[in-house]
Amino acid sequence: MPDSSAVQQRILALTERLHQLNHQYYQLDISEVPDQEFDQMLAELHQLETDYPDLALPNSPTRRVGGTITKQFPTAVHRYPMLSLGNTYSEDDLREFDERVQRGLEGAPYSYVCELKIDGVAMSLRYEHGQLVQGVTRGDGTRGDVVTANVRTIRTLPLALRPGPDQPEDFEVRGEVFMPLPVFAELNAEREQNGEPLLANPRNAASGTLKLQNSAQVAARKLRFYAYSLLTPGRHFASHSAALEALSRYGLPVSDTWRRCANITEVLDFVHYWAKQRHEFPVATDGIVIKVDDLRQQDQLGYTAKSPRWAIAYKYPAEAARTRLNEVIYNVGRTGAVTPVALLTPVPLAGTVVKRATLHNANQIELLDLRLGDLVYVEKGGEIIPKITGVDLAARPADAVPIQYPTLCPACATPLVRPEGEAHFRCPNERGCPPQLKARLEHYVSRRALNIDGLGAETVGRFFDLGLVTTPADIYDLPARRAELVTLERLGEKSIDNLIAGIEASKQVPFPRVLFGLGIRYVGETVAQKLAAHYRTIDALMVASAEEMAAVPEVGGVIAVAAAHWFQQPENQALIERLRQAGVQLAVTGEAPVPASDRLAGLTFVISGVFESHSREELQQVIISNGGKITGSISKKLSYLVAGDNMGPAKREKALALKVPIISETELMALLPSSEDEPAVSEENVIAATGLGSQGELFS
Ligand code: IVH
């Protein structure tokens, strides 16, 4: 029998890898390994957890909603299949499309509607009696994932429609869910701050977001929706344009960029206009959709096996430019990750001049077989971050130089490491590598962390270069070194006063932001808040094991291992000691947000489905910290089934058959003491609200 520390190691390794693969799959839309391999790892982990229950981590990937990646959402069959459009890249093809339409309609007059082709995720929404009842992804066109709880978080999407005399009782709205470009840019900036990999484009960001299990997280991502068609069993409107107008009247968001076009010449004018103009539009678009307006004529033209004959998508050519690769430099980030950046001969592309492009990592350089001096193709990924997509091999100069990926850190010459399964090389010299130290200081003073007035990234960087500060704790020694600061160029008395006042004020910044500011790998704002809320003081956090931390909602095994490792380092312990001496907030003040009590002692709960305001882990935590127990299966002895959206019908039926009360997340919360330690509602009210009836004795 293997010793338990070997088992523990294996559990940690599997957990870490599975969390990473899940993250890649859901957030980045990358499948690094085949599903089968994923399932094998999951099965192995599950077996180890069964054999060694004491070593099982509470946030194990085996405990995710639905168990595996393929079972995250229930699926539904589309009433009307979700077809795709024929694509074209040339104006000649558009003219041919028009000729086919003309022939198909046998000379009858017709007109078109042109719309922007939004680059997001197709969504089918069902409205019954004016109420949003279901949201389903395209899936394979016949069957898609039911993501109702997630689409409900889209603020601009009405849950109830404005009534209108011509509103069908039961209809479907098709449209595109997307992430606006500014939201995407903000999300990536935040990920960069947290040392997380960037999302490639807004479409991946939108599809990854829709696949999140926690709809509260989805809500934070600010997705949007544009409707582009309305489907009813019979024909309800005479034309597509009338249906678009009706959708707007009902309160559904329809982009006002659509136009009626009398003929193909007007269609081409529309295409030309948006070729440039779309770069000013705050939503990623990749073309124009052209539809025959009259619905009777649409029926007359009909469908091929895959797509309608009455519509076509004109795709703008991916904006690419060819330019010379002159040099590759290597940036070292806050967490030591090394990112190669290509320096190019400046070239105009989609409205800006591109001089640099990201190469992501060493794999990318190998895949593209890049050489210095090559002519390369640059594209704007999701219209934002330029990337190198290919090499003009025919034009390769004889003296093109193969790129030697560095083996030593370009900043501090420490040998680089590449942790198993990671794409990036890393410089492990956390304590001494200048760009890492500097980036950590910049992070510490940044707006979302300690937000030190008068000490921006630039100033702190300058102080670092001058040897005035190396770690965040050194910042608090600056006021005593006023005389030295005065001698610095470009730093007047007034700026110094401002700086000192800012440093003083930062001592009042709440603990979660200080914890975030420490720059622990993977500990972003949300995780910092969760850890702070759970442990309340840095001292409690410093002695917590990785296993314990992994039990905190939203803190997975990977994060917990990184955080525990960070707190074990003597120099980090010394840093915290100095911050404490300086008077920085290292504990939460005020009430604990998750009330702890024995209110649920003796009660057992099953949690099922997806919830609006809490993740399942949070609900579990709430139940456990109030003395309740979680179980997996429904039996007569079960106290409550806590039901969210998309709960399987079998569970509901079983609970009903065994007379197990089914309650919502709000009703669960109502069972708990409020923060003033009074019951949130009287017991009678709880019983009335939950319809528990004779189950009331559970409280006695
Ligand atoms: S109409 C029968 N209109 O482009 C097909 N599609 O293959 C009906 N899209 O993923 C689609 N903007 O989600 C239509 N204004 C628009 C669109 C649009 C984006 C997407 C659609 C689908 C793809 C078409």
Residue 594 has pLDDT above 70, yes or no: no
Q: What tokens appear for 628 in the block?
A: 């309740």
83 lines ligand 1 (CB under 6 A): yes
d(CA 279, CA 21): 34
Give the 3-state secondary structure of residue 405: coil
Tens digits of residue pLDDT in 261-298: 999 999 999 999 999 899 889 998 989 999 999 999 99
The predicted model gives 62-71 an average pLDDT of 39
230 lines ligand 1 (CB under 6 A): no
Give the 3-state secondary structure of residue 331: strand
* 161-165, 611-615, 682-686: segment of lowest average pLDDT: 682-686
Please, what is the Cα angle at 180 between 251 and 381, to 5 degrees? 145
Domain end among 590, 617, 649: 590
- What is the number of other CB atoms lying within 10 angstroms of the CB of residue 362? 19
In a domain, 132, yes or no: yes
In a domain, 635, yes or no: yes
Q: What tokens appear for 221 in the block?
A: 């991502």
Mean pLDDT taken over the chain: 84
293 lines ligand 1 (CB under 6 A): no
Is residue 117 annotated as a catalytic residue, yes or no?
yes
Which pLDDT belongs to residue 167? 93
- Per DSSP, which regions of 505-552 are E strands? none
- Give me the torsion for CA of 247, 248, 253, 254, rounded to 10°: 80
d(CA 194, CA 212): 19
Tens digits of residue pLDDT in 8-35: 888 888 888 887 776 666 545 566 776 6
Which pLDDT belongs to residue 313? 96
d(CA 453, CA 471): 18
Full-prediction pTM beyond 0.75? no
Give the 3-state secondary structure of residue 213: coil
* Whether 373 and 443 share a structural domain: no
d(CA 467, CA 462): 9
Residue 41, domain CATH: 1.10.287.610
* Whether 575 and 447 share a structural domain: yes
* Whether 309 and 326 share a structural domain: no
For atom 9 of ligand 1, which residue has the closest CA? Answer: 117
CA 114–ligand 1 middle distance (angstroms): 12
Residue 285, domain CATH: 3.30.470.30
In a domain, 469, yes or no: yes
CA 288–ligand 1 middle distance (angstroms): 9
Provide, rounded to the nearest whole percent, the portion of the chain with pLDDT above 70. Answer: 89
Residue 286 near residue 68, CB atoms below 8 Å:
no
Which pLDDT belongs to residue 636? 87
Residue 346 has pLDDT above 70, yes or no: yes
Residue 560 near residue 590, CB atoms below 8 Å:
no
286 lines ligand 1 (CB under 6 A): no
Nearest to 463 by CA among 480, 483, 488: 488
Tell me the torsion sign for CA atoms 184, 189, 191, 196: positive
In a domain, 689, yes or no: no
For atom 21 of ligand 1, which residue has the closest CA? Answer: 122
Q: How is 432-456 classified by DSSP, letter by letter? A: T-HHHHHHHHHHHHSTTTT--TT--
For atom 2 of ligand 1, which residue has the closest CA? Answer: 83
d(CA 325, CA 369): 12
Residue 692 has pLDDT above 60, yes or no: no
Residue 686 has pLDDT above 50, yes or no: no
Which of 172, 229, 289, 301 to mutate to test ligand 1, by most ligand atoms within 8 A of the CB atom? Answer: 289
Which pLDDT belongs to residue 347? 87
* Whether 86 and 62 share a structural domain: no
* Whether 467 and 557 share a structural domain: yes
- Pairing relationship of beta strands 662-663 and 640-643 according to DSSP bridges: parallel
Is residue 457 very low, low, confident or very high in pLDDT (cuts 50, 70, 90)? Answer: confident
Residue 384, domain CATH: 2.40.50.140
Name which residue leads in pLDDT, 199 or 555: 555
Which pLDDT belongs to residue 622? 80
Name which residue leads in pLDDT, 352 or 538: 538
Which pLDDT belongs to residue 295? 96
Which pLDDT belongs to residue 454? 83
Nearest to 213 by CA among 322, 96, 64: 64
The predicted model gives 600-616 an average pLDDT of 82
* 1-5, 18-22, 90-94: segment of lowest average pLDDT: 1-5
Residue 446 φ then ψ, to 5°? -65, 165
Which pLDDT belongs to residue 214? 78
Which pLDDT belongs to residue 23? 61
Atom of ligand 1 nearest to the CA of 258: 15
Residue 402 near residue 381, CB atoms below 8 Å:
no
CA 228–ligand 1 middle distance (angstroms): 8
Residue 642 has pLDDT above 60, yes or no: yes
Q: How is 464-502 classified by DSSP, letter by letter? A: HHTTS-SSHHHHTTGGGGHHHHHTSTT--HHHHHHHHHH
Which pLDDT belongs to residue 683? 27
The predicted model gives 432-455 an average pLDDT of 91
d(CA 668, CA 646): 18
Nearest to 18 by CA among 74, 54, 67: 67
Q: What tokens appear for 313 in the block?
A: 């998508």
* Whether 130 and 213 share a structural domain: yes
Nearest to 272 by CA among 311, 320, 310, 316: 316
Domain end among 35, 67, 99: 67
* Whether 311 and 324 share a structural domain: no
Is residue 92 very low, low, confident or very high in pLDDT (cuts 50, 70, 90)? Answer: very high
Say how many residues make up the chain. 700
Residue 403 has pLDDT above 60, yes or no: yes
Nearest to 146 by CA among 647, 563, 541, 630: 647
**Burial of 677: CB neighbours in 10 Å, binned 0-12, 13-18, 19+:** exposed
Instruction: Please report, in range form, the residues annotated as the binding site for Zn(2+).
Output: 409, 412, 427, 433
Which pLDDT belongs to residue 568? 93
Cα distances (angstroms) measured from residue 121 to each of 143, 144, 176: 15, 12, 5
Q: What tokens appear for 188 in the block?
A: 């990536």
In a domain, 413, yes or no: no
How large is the angle between the packed helices 202-210 and 181-193, nearest 10 degrees?
80
Domain end among 67, 87, 107: 67
CA 193–ligand 1 middle distance (angstroms): 35
For atom 12 of ligand 1, which residue has the closest CA? Answer: 117
Is residue 194 very low, low, confident or very high in pLDDT (cuts 50, 70, 90)? Answer: low
In a domain, 480, yes or no: yes
Residue 261 φ then ψ, to 5°? -125, 130
Please, what is the Cα angle at 27 between 555 and 207, to 5 degrees? 135
- What is the number of other CB atoms lying within 10 angstroms of the CB of residue 539? 13
Looking at residue 616, its amino acid is R
* Whether 464 and 553 share a structural domain: yes
Which of 136, 228, 306 to mutate to test ligand 1, by most ligand atoms within 8 A of the CB atom? Answer: 228
> Which entry of 117, 211, 380, 651 is annotated as an active-site residue?
117
* Whether 510 and 627 share a structural domain: no
In a domain, 517, yes or no: yes
d(CA 94, CA 76): 35
Residue 489 near residue 498, CB atoms below 8 Å:
no
Is residue 89 very low, low, confident or very high in pLDDT (cuts 50, 70, 90)? Answer: confident
Residue 176 near residue 226, CB atoms below 8 Å:
yes
Which pLDDT belongs to residue 318? 73
534 lines ligand 1 (CB under 6 A): no
* Whether 140 and 181 share a structural domain: yes
380 lines ligand 1 (CB under 6 A): no
Is residue 104 very low, low, confident or very high in pLDDT (cuts 50, 70, 90)? Answer: very high
How large is the angle between the packed helices 557-568 and 570-582, nearest 10 degrees?
80
Q: What tokens appear for 40 in the block?
A: 């094998």
Atom of ligand 1 nearest to the CA of 84: 7
Q: What tokens appear for 439 in the block?
A: 């980036």
Residue 221 near residue 185, CB atoms below 8 Å:
no
Residue 544 has pLDDT above 50, yes or no: yes
End-to-end, the C-alpha distance of the chain in Å comes to 47
Which pLDDT belongs to residue 593? 52
84 lines ligand 1 (CB under 6 A): yes
* Whether 472 and 584 share a structural domain: yes
The whole domain housing 47 covers: 4-67
Residue 620, domain CATH: 3.40.50.10190
In a domain, 644, yes or no: yes
- Pairing relationship of beta strands 311-315 and 285-292 according to DSSP bridges: antiparallel
Residue 253 near residue 214, CB atoms below 8 Å:
no
Which pLDDT belongs to residue 694? 28
118 lines ligand 1 (CB under 6 A): yes
* Whether 575 and 623 share a structural domain: no
* 46-55, 135-144, 558-567: segment of lowest average pLDDT: 46-55
Q: What tokens appear for 659 in the block?
A: 């007379």
Nearest to 584 by CA among 531, 537, 619, 533: 537
85 lines ligand 1 (CB under 6 A): yes
Looking at residue 416, its amino acid is L
Residue 440 has pLDDT above 90, yes or no: yes
d(CA 220, CA 524): 14
The predicted model gives 452-481 an average pLDDT of 92
Number of domains in the chain: 5
CA 295–ligand 1 middle distance (angstroms): 17
Residue 465, domain CATH: 1.10.150.20
Residue 696 has pLDDT above 60, yes or no: no
Tell me the torsion sign for CA atoms 149, 153, 158, 159: positive
d(CA 88, CA 311): 11
Which pLDDT belongs to residue 67? 26
Is residue 195 very low, low, confident or very high in pLDDT (cuts 50, 70, 90)? Answer: low
How large is the angle between the packed helices 557-568 and 4-27, nearest 10 degrees?
120
- Pairing relationship of beta strands 112-118 and 259-261 according to DSSP bridges: antiparallel
